[in-house]
């Protein structure tokens, strides 16, 4: 990237623009909002409150072109094995392509995708029509998803966000941590006769998930007087690993497959979405896929990158990471139902692009993925926004807001929306010393008080934000929103020249945990560093 002409142009351009504030840029362009926003159907992306001009965007787009973005988009959608370290295609888009043929290794993957979607639809219908009952012929009232990472965060996000769409008052629970408190606490509220367990693991080898799965199975057998036959009605699996699923004792009929061309963090559209499909019904799950498909079509077919939402969102991120040297990105969803969105995006972007070598393994000389963090925006206003407004750093933010909510009321919605807009305005405009001082004087402060206190009430402003407006938090627009970030992540990976679809960085800790677990259970411990040795011994003494 550093050697492209566009990057060099951008470096010069950065020098010419870096001292211009957002307010300067607004003063230069009366139609800045009109010029710097894009829409897709009713989703609106306002990027006018960023330290960019039209020239910045042109140069960033040149960078994307020089890095081969157009070719890489075609390669991904076509099913080329762009995950080069694992020799895999990357086809989460095929999961929502509505049966459009896609050939990988001479096989049309869409056929199997449609078969599994049918299997999910049939199972969901059976559950809701009362044709899938528990072993004592009672309807299922509770679904428990056992999975972690991509096998947890997507289902958690979507079922939280779409809770009002829940069918038949089903309860949904998530067990992800190996902290036994979580599993035992959840189990203590469940009736084995009316509970369905979904064991969700792409590999079916993940230690946390498999430990929880065995614990839950033992609990079930204990509660049902070892009724092995009942497992069929109460346990299903979602995985790419057919062999491990059957070794666990789950019948092939109760297995929902997906494939190694679906990355864990991109898997909500696959059978990993089963708990969601059961919870909100298959029709709503289909709408989630349709929304994502609309974003896919926009992304793949909008060849003028200036009009392409994921591309522009990604390029603004590159601008801040690689030129402004901002190293975090805040995600602030205002609707409480999207509270888990930051955690979801954290895995998506940080696991995809948290890399320090390029596709060929060569070290990178520039920063890649920023730290993604955030929480419900309205709550964050009363917590960490202080630092964002008056701290010494600058933290670009994405504000996400559903404009209407039929599950709220007008009073609440008006207050929610006004707060989201106000924060973006405050981050950008700030408040000068003179303004702060005159406000104090107007409110009756003495000259001396106003002189001193005003210093604490200054907001430097010039804090950038994106505003993403959805008409509502519906299955369709949620699908569109998630796909927007997926493609943003992909575009950034292409520009940084990295493979966004492997995650070797999660392996070392897993390996060492196995050794330490052995050490904990033996008289000897293997040689670690002095700190780790002592920590293991300390734990052994208090077991
Ligand atoms: O350890 C990281 C990871 O492999 C993620 O990439 C993945 O989403 C998660 O663990 C769960 O993996 P699995 O679905 O195979 O259990």
488 has pLDDT over 80 = yes
Pocket of ligand 1 contains residue 350 by CB under 6 Å: no
Domain with CATH 1.10.1390 in the chain: 505-542
Residue 55 C-alpha to ligand 1 middle, in angstroms? 41
526 has pLDDT over 80 = no
The per-residue pLDDT for 272 is 98
Helix (H) or strand (E) holding 45: strand 43-46
The per-residue pLDDT for 366 is 98
Residue 351 appears among annotated catalytic residues: yes
Render pLDDT for 279-299 as a digit per residue (tens, 0 to 9): 999 999 999 999 999 999 999
The per-residue pLDDT for 167 is 80
- Please state, as a whole number, how many other Cβ atoms lie within 10 Å of the Cβ of residue 419: 16
Given a contact cutoff of 8 angstroms between Cβ atoms, the answer to whether 361 and 501 are in contact is no
Domain with CATH 3.40.50.10490 in the chain: 5-66+302-429+465-501, 92-287
- Indicate if the alpha-carbon torsion angle 62, 67, 71, 75 is positive or negative: negative
Pocket of ligand 1 contains residue 506 by CB under 6 Å: yes
Render pLDDT for 3-21 as a digit per residue (tens, 0 to 9): 999 999 999 999 999 999 9
Q: Average pLDDT for residues 478-482, to the nearest whole number?
A: 98
Pocket of ligand 1 contains residue 272 by CB under 6 Å: no
Pocket of ligand 1 contains residue 148 by CB under 6 Å: yes
Residue 524's pLDDT band (cuts 50, 70, 90) = confident
Q: Which atom of ligand 1 is nearest to the CA of 264?
A: 8
The per-residue pLDDT for 525 is 80
495 has pLDDT over 90 = yes
367 has pLDDT over 90 = yes
Q: Average pLDDT for residues 530-538, to the nearest whole number?
A: 94
Vertex 88 angle, CA 86 and 91, to 5°: 140
CA distances, 60 to each of 23, 74, 240, 328, 485 (Å)? 22, 20, 39, 20, 18
For a mutational test of ligand 1's pocket, the pick from 83, 202, 260, 499, i.e. the residue with the most ligand atoms closer than 8 A to its C-beta, is: 202
Given a contact cutoff of 8 angstroms between Cβ atoms, the answer to whether 275 and 198 are in contact is yes
Pocket of ligand 1 contains residue 211 by CB under 6 Å: no
168 has pLDDT over 80 = no
For ligand 1, atom 6: residue with the closest CA: 264
The per-residue pLDDT for 527 is 85
Residue 382 appears among annotated catalytic residues: yes
Given a contact cutoff of 8 angstroms between Cβ atoms, the answer to whether 197 and 146 are in contact is yes
Render pLDDT for 408-417 as a digit per residue (tens, 0 to 9): 999 999 999 9
Residue 310 C-alpha to ligand 1 middle, in angstroms? 25
Look up the CATH number of domain 505-542.
1.10.1390
- With a pLDDT cut of 70, the percent of the chain lying above it is 100
Given a contact cutoff of 8 angstroms between Cβ atoms, the answer to whether 375 and 382 are in contact is no
Give the integer Cα–Cα distance in Å for 4 and 108.
38
The per-residue pLDDT for 79 is 96
The per-residue pLDDT for 123 is 96
Residue 509 C-alpha to ligand 1 middle, in angstroms? 13
Render pLDDT for 47-84 as a digit per residue (tens, 0 to 9): 999 999 999 999 999 999 999 999 999 999 999 999 99
Residues 92-287: name the CATH superfamily. Glucose-6-phosphate isomerase like protein; domain 1 (3.40.50.10490)
Pocket of ligand 1 contains residue 202 by CB under 6 Å: yes
The per-residue pLDDT for 484 is 98
pTM given for the model:
0.97
Render pLDDT for 178-198 as a digit per residue (tens, 0 to 9): 999 999 999 999 999 999 999
Q: Which of 351, 355, 359, 487 is catalytic?
A: 351
- With a pLDDT cut of 90, the percent of the chain lying above it is 97
Considering only CA atoms, which of 188, 180, 160, 164 is closest in space to residue 172? 160
Give the integer Cα–Cα distance in Å for 206 and 241.
12
Q: Could you give the dihedral angle defined by the CA atoms of residues 283, 289, 292 and 298, in that order, rounded to the nearest 10 degrees? A: -90
The per-residue pLDDT for 323 is 98
Residue 150 C-alpha to ligand 1 middle, in angstroms? 6
Pocket of ligand 1 contains residue 231 by CB under 6 Å: no
Render pLDDT for 379-410 as a digit per residue (tens, 0 to 9): 999 999 999 999 999 999 999 999 999 999 99
176 has pLDDT over 90 = yes
pLDDT averaged over the chain?
Answer: 97
Q: Average pLDDT for residues 88-117, to the nearest whole number?
A: 95
Pocket of ligand 1 contains residue 265 by CB under 6 Å: yes
| 215 SS3 class | helix
Render pLDDT for 253-273 as a digit per residue (tens, 0 to 9): 899 999 999 999 999 999 999
In terms of Cβ atoms closer than 10 Å to its own Cβ (0-12, 13-18, 19+), residue 127 is buried
Q: Which of 169, 382, 406, 456 is catalytic?
A: 382
Query: Under 8 Å CB-to-CB from 308, ≥6 apart: which residues?
Result: 298, 299, 302
217 has pLDDT over 80 = yes
C-beta pairs of 439-445 under 8 Å, 24+ apart in sequence: none
The CATH class given to the 5-66+302-429+465-501 domain equals alpha beta
Q: Average pLDDT for residues 212-218, to the nearest whole number?
A: 98
């Amino acid at each position: 990237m550093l050697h492209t002409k566009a990057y060099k142009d951008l470096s010069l351009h950065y020098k010419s623009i870096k001292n211009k504030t957002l307010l300067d840029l607004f003063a230069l362009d009366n139609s800045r909002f009109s010029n710097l926003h894009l829409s897709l159907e009713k989703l609106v992306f306002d990027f006018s409150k960023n330290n960019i001009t039209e020239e910045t965007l042109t140069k960033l787009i040149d960078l994307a072109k020089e890095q081969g973005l157009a070719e890489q988009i075609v390669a991904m959608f076509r099913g080329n094995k762009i995950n080069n370290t694992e020799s895999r295609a990357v086809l989460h888009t095929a999961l929502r392509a509505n049966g459009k043929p896609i050939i990988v290794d001479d096989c049309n993957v869409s056929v199997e995708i449609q078969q599994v979607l049918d299997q999910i639809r049939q199972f969901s219908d059976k559950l809701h029509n009362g044709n899938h009952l528990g072993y004592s012929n009672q309807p299922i009232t509770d679904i428990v998803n056992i999975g972690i990472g991509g096998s947890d965060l997507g289902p958690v996000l979507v079922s939280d966000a779409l809770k009002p769409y829940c069918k038949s008052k089903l309860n949904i629970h998530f067990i992800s941590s190996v902290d036994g408190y979580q599993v035992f606490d959840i189990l203590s509220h469940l009736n084995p006769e009316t509970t369905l367990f979904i064991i969700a693991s792409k590999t079916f080898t993940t230690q946390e998930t498999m430990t929880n799965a065995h614990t839950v199975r033992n609990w079930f057998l204990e509660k049902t007087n070892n009724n092995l036959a009942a497992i069929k009605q109460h346990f299903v699996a979602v995985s790419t690993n057919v062999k491990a699923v059957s070794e666990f004792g789950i019948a092939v009929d109760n297995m929902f497959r997906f494939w190694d061309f679906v990355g864990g963090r991109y898997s909500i559209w696959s059978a990993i979405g089963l708990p969601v499909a059961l919870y909100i019904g298959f029709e709503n799950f289909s709408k989630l896929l349709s929304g994502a498909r609309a974003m896919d079509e926009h992304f793949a077919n909008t060849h003028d990158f200036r009009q392409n939402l994921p591309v522009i969102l990604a390029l603004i991120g590159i601008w801040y990471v690689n030129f402004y040297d901002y190293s975090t990105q805040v995600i602030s969803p205002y609707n409480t139902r999207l509270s888990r969105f930051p955690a979801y995006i954290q895995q998506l972007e940080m696991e995809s692009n948290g890399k320090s070598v390029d596709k060929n393994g060569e070290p990178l000389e520039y920063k890649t993925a920023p730290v993604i963090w955030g929480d419900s925006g309205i709550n964050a206003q009363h917590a960490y926004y202080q630092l964002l407004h008056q701290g010494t750093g600058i933290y670009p933010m994405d504000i996400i807001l559903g404009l209407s909510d039929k599950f709220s009321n007008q009073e609440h919605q008006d207050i929610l929306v006004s707060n989201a807009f106000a924060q973006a305005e405050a981050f950008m405009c700030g408040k000068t010393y003179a303004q702060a001082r005159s406000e104090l004087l107007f409110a009756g402060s003495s000259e001396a008080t106003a002189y001193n206190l005003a210093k604490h009430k200054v907001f430097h402003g010039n804090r950038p934000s994106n505003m993403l407006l959805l008409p509502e938090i519906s299955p369709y627009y949620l699908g569109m929103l998630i796909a927007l970030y997926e493609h943003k992540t992909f575009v950034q990976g292409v520009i940084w020249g990295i493979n966004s679809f492997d995650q070797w960085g999660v392996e070392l800790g897993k390996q060492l945990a196995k050794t330490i677990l052995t050490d904990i259970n033996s008289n000897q411990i293997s040689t670690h560093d002095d700190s780790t040795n002592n920590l293991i011994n300390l734990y052994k003494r208090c077991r």
